[in-house]
Structure 1
């Protein structure tokens, strides 16, 4: 955490920070996307690459997934205010709150 804080303070105008901020705004969507893509690539029902991959291959795939997520988050937030999973979570939470309010009013 200290190293990241130091880098952000030292290089405030670095364009990577804005991209990482967008990924952070869509953290739930990126987490789900990373799990779905990884399971498709590595499990037997997908491409089945998870047998005995070399360390460098796994690191390379991880870097590609991270770059894809950065691109996805940047493009998505260009058109929408929040990520798809964040929107679904917000919608479901508001439905639960409205349901609880109606139940409380009936009491």
Structure 2
């Protein structure tokens, strides 16, 4: 991917625009404020959209680098958290037994 003509943004520019619009939506603002106690920052989505559009128009290396860096940070942020459930290596020893649904407690 050393050649600038063959490189493509990780997402289509419309995807960045959609994410930016979703981030600013009333529903998302309410949900994010209710969950985290603050309004979401949508600036990165807007910057990514603008960089993508700039890349499409001028093939700017600064826009390309900014998009790559943003996507790498997004991926690292996803990987930062451990899964909620611990995965089993094998099924429980009594997996074939019927469930206790019909028995009184």
Do both proteins adopt the same fold according to a TM-score greater than 0.5, normalized to the shorter chain? no
Indicate the structure (1 or 2) with the bigger Cα radius of gyration.
2
TM-score, L = length of structure 1: 0.29
Higher helix fraction: Structure 1 or Structure 2? 1
Which structure's relative contact order is higher, taking Cα pairs within 8 Å and 6+ residues apart? 1
